[in-house]
Amino acid sequence: LAGADRADGGVVTLGGRDIVIDRPADALRNRVALSAEDRGAEGLIGELSVRENIVLALQALRGWAHPLAKAEREDLVERHIEHFGITPADPATPAGQLSGGNQQKVLLARWLAIRPRVLILDEPTRGVDIRAKVDIQAHIAQLALEGVAVVFISSAFDELVRVSDRIVVLKDREKIGELSNGPGVTVDTIVELIAAPRDDEDEDAFPLPELPFPPGPPTRPPAH
């Protein structure tokens, strides 16, 4: 969906029309954002300031030949720092010096700056403290209420039950199960969905090897 991996097949439909996403630039142009699981290696640039990290995606979308005006940049950064409660609130702080929770908030601010239509979050609350986790989940829920399509990827099943409208289980790049969230859905429900046999996984999927000849009765060893 974000162009990081090439799709095996299928069609992406967004806003009622089919779109082609072959690379991350295509996703960005269609305002499909991905916050990767490893925020240190694939998301946040620790050597850059909070300010530079927040405006990075918007500047890439506008084009590097058309830098953001200083007033627009500062207004955007200040609004997002306040909105997410990023601390310390100094936009000149190197992003790598922030706590894990605040680093994740900087990444969310980066993608909100482009007004995403689809936001893919891969383990967005992993490695953050409880307070930051609650804050991040609240912001994500608000985005969904505002009409952003949020794909929330998590290995914490209790978190999926708490924040999701629909839960999809993937294995080997294929969907193997899906359910609508509701009062009766629990962690056990998700475990059962994962453990349920697939249509193509029956007892004939792994047949026993045929013996070269019919087995006969056991024989006694020769007497000495």
**Which tens digits make up the pLDDT trace of 137-169?**
888 889 899 899 999 988 888 888 888 889 998
Q: What is the topology classification, in CATH, of domain 33-153? A: Rossmann fold (3.40.50)
pLDDT for 202 equals: 54
User: Judging by DSSP bridges, how do beta strands 149-153 and 118-122 pair with one another?
Assistant: parallel
Cβ neighbours of residue 98 closer than 8 Å, sequence gap 6 or more:
50, 86, 87, 88, 106
Residue 42 has pLDDT above 80, yes or no: no
pLDDT for 213 equals: 46
pLDDT for 201 equals: 56
pLDDT for 41 equals: 65
> Residue 94: is the preceding peptide bond cis (ω within 30°)?
no
Separation CA 176–CA 172 (nearest Å): 9
Dig out the tokens for 194 from the structure. 């994962």
Separation CA 89–CA 87 (nearest Å): 5
**H-type helices in 94-186, by residue range?**
100-112, 130-145, 157-163
Domain map (residue ranges) of the chain: 33-153, 158-199
**Which tens digits make up the pLDDT trace of 63-92?**
989 999 999 999 999 999 999 999 999 999
